[in-house]
Structure 1
Amino acid sequence: MKYLLTSLLTLTLFISCVNNDKPVIQEPQKTDYTVENEKEIKDYIALNKLTAVRSDSGLYYVINEPGTGAKPTATSNVTVAYKGYFTSGKIFDQSSAAGISFPLDKVIKGWTEGIPLFKEGGSGILLIPSHLAYGSSNNSGIPAGSVLIFDVKLIKVN
C-alpha cells in the first residue's frame, strides 16, 4: 500500500510538471523598408538622371520604348528579356536575349504591375521597392529589404 501511494504521488507530480502547451512558433521579424527604399530609389534616379514615374504602390518605372504590339494584363503569360541588379550596379540575375516565359501572376508584385505598362516590343526600367519584391525575406542571394532594378524588354504576350 505504501508503495502504491508513493507511486501515485510521484506520478501526480510528474504529470503536473509536464508542459502540455503547444510550442510557440515565432514568426520571422518583418521590417518595413519603405522609407529607406524610397530614398534609395530617388537617389538612384537622381544619380543616373532618369525620368521615372512613381505608381501609387511605390513602383518606379521608365518607359524607353512603349512598344507597338499586344499589351499584357496582370494574368498574361509573357516572354521577357531582362537584367536584374541592385542600385550598386551588381547584377543578380539576367536572361538570355531570347528571354524567358512566365505567367505574370506567378512573379513578384513589381513585375505583375510593371510589365503591363509595356506593349510587345516595349522596353524600360522597373525600380522595385522591397515590399513589391521579396520584402523582409532573403531570396536566392537577394538580401531582405533590397531595392531591385530591372532593365526589361517585353518580347511577346503569349
Structure 2
Amino acid sequence: MKKLLFVLLLAVTGFSACKKDSSSDNYDATAQAAADDAKIQAYLKTNNLTATKDPSGVYYQVVTAGTGAYPTSTSTVNVNYKGTLLNGTVFDSGSLTNQSLSGLIAGWQYGIPHINTGGRIILYIPSTLGYKNQAQGSIPANSVLIFTIDLLGFK
C-alpha cells in the first residue's frame, strides 16, 4: 500500500510540474502595449509633463541634450541612472560602465540614442519594452518603467 501511495504521489508531482503558467498563456502583448500607453499618457497629463513618443512606443523627455554624436543601439555606454515605477517607487539606481546598449532592455535601446554625451533623458518605458509580464525583483510584472539617465559617454 505504501508503495502504491508513493508511486501515485510521484505521478501527481510529475504532472503538476508540467503544468503551464496560465499567466504566460494569456499574455497579449498588443493589449498590454495599449494599456501601458494609456497609463503613460495619464501619468504625463496628471504631472503636467510633455514627452515625445518614439515609433517603438517609448516616450522620452530630453532634459539636457548634450553635445556631439548620438549613440546607436550597438554602442557601449557609460551612464548614471535612476529607475522608478509610475507610483514613484525607486527600484534601482546606479552607474553602468562600458555596457553594451544591445544587452539592455529594449526601452533603453530605443531611448538613449535620443541624447548626446553629457545629456540627460527621462524614458517612460511600456512594459512590453521592459520586463514584459515577468516580475524582476521589486518590479511587478507588466510595469511601466521610468528611467532618468545621464549619458556620460559612449563608444
Q: TM-score band, normalised by the shorter chain?
A: 0.7 to 0.9
**1:25 deviation in Å?**
6.2
Instruction: Give ranges in structure 2 of 5+ residues lacking alignment.
Output: 1-16
User: Which residue identity is paired with 1:141?
Assistant: S
Contact between 1:69 and 1:121, CA under 8 Å: does it hold in 2?
no
Q: Confirm whether residue 53 of structure 1 aligns to residue 49 of structure 2.
A: no
Instruction: Please name the residue that 2:96 is paired with.
Output: 100
User: Which residue identity is paired with 2:20?
Assistant: Q
The correspondence for 2:113, drawn from 94, 113, 116, is 116
Identity of aligned residues (%): 38
Contact between 2:84 and 2:90, CA under 8 Å: does it hold in 1?
yes
Instruction: Please name the residue that 2:14 is paired with.
Output: none
Relative to the length of structure 1, the TM-score reads 0.78
Instruction: Give ranges in structure 1 of 5+ residues lacking alignment.
Output: 1-22
Relative to the length of structure 2, the TM-score reads 0.80
Higher radius of gyration, 1 or 2: 1
RMSD: 1.6
Instruction: Please name the residue that 1:138 is paired with.
Output: 135
Bigger shift: residues 67-76 or 147-156: 67-76
SS at structure 2 position matched to 1:74: coil
Alpha-carbon distance between aligned partners in 2 of 1:51 and 1:156, rounded to the nearest angstrom: 26
SS at structure 2 position matched to 1:136: coil
Alpha-carbon distance between aligned partners in 1 of 2:138 and 2:39, rounded to the nearest angstrom: 19
SS at structure 2 position matched to 1:44: helix
